[in-house]
Amino acid sequence: MKITKNQQLLTNLEVLETVNRYQNEQKEKAKKRKHSVKADEALNTVTLETANYLSKLPAAQQTKEGIVEFVQKIKADPDGAKLLPNELIQIVNMRPEQTVELYLLIEDIEGRITEENVDKLQELVQQ
């Protein structure tokens, strides 16, 4: 696994894809080896648990195209454009089902977005 110094926010979908890709690579390597490497077992356990967890979240049903379309719709709205990148990522990852969840994800939502537009944002999330 290669670590780069670039910092970037990731959606759960991107993490799930990365974990799945890693697992597939490890399966291919394991076919070529005769015995397992002890150090790999711990990492394989972590990646398996991560994949299992993420597969239970909305990320398992999301697509990159769907996320891009959703973010474009949000940014097209004047109030949606006020959302910070980390707030957008949280909304994509959590897919809040109730308006109250948006209040928990968006800092100072009352001061930044009108209540009517919060409801519109919730409708966009539900689509």
Q: What pLDDT is stored for residue 36 in this prediction?
A: 62
Closest CA to 84 of 97, 95, 71, 73: 71
Determine the Cα–Cα distance for residues 103 and 77; give it in Å rounded to an integer. Answer: 18
Residue 56 DSSP one-character state:
T
| pLDDT tens-digit map of 44-103 | 889 999 999 999 999 889 999 999 999 999 888 888 888 999 999 999 999 999 999 999
| Per-residue confidence band for 38, with pLDDT thresholds at 50, 70 and 90 | low
Looking at 6-10, 36-40, 112-116, which range is the least confident one? 36-40
Determine the Cα–Cα distance for residues 58 and 41; give it in Å rounded to an integer. Answer: 28
Instruction: Return residue ranges of the chain for CATH 1.20.1250.40.
Output: 63-126
Closest CA to 125 of 69, 81, 84: 69
Q: What pLDDT is stored for residue 26 in this prediction?
A: 83
Cβ-proximal residues to 31 (8 Å cutoff; 6+ apart), any chain: none
| Per-residue confidence band for 35, with pLDDT thresholds at 50, 70 and 90 | low
Q: Residue 62's CB: how many other CB atoms inside 10 A?
A: 19
Q: What is the mean pLDDT of residues 115-124?
A: 89
Q: What pLDDT is stored for residue 80 in this prediction?
A: 82
Q: What pLDDT is stored for residue 43 in this prediction?
A: 85
Determine the Cα–Cα distance for residues 12 and 102; give it in Å rounded to an integer. Answer: 18
Is domain 63-126 annotated with CATH 1.25.40.10? Answer: no
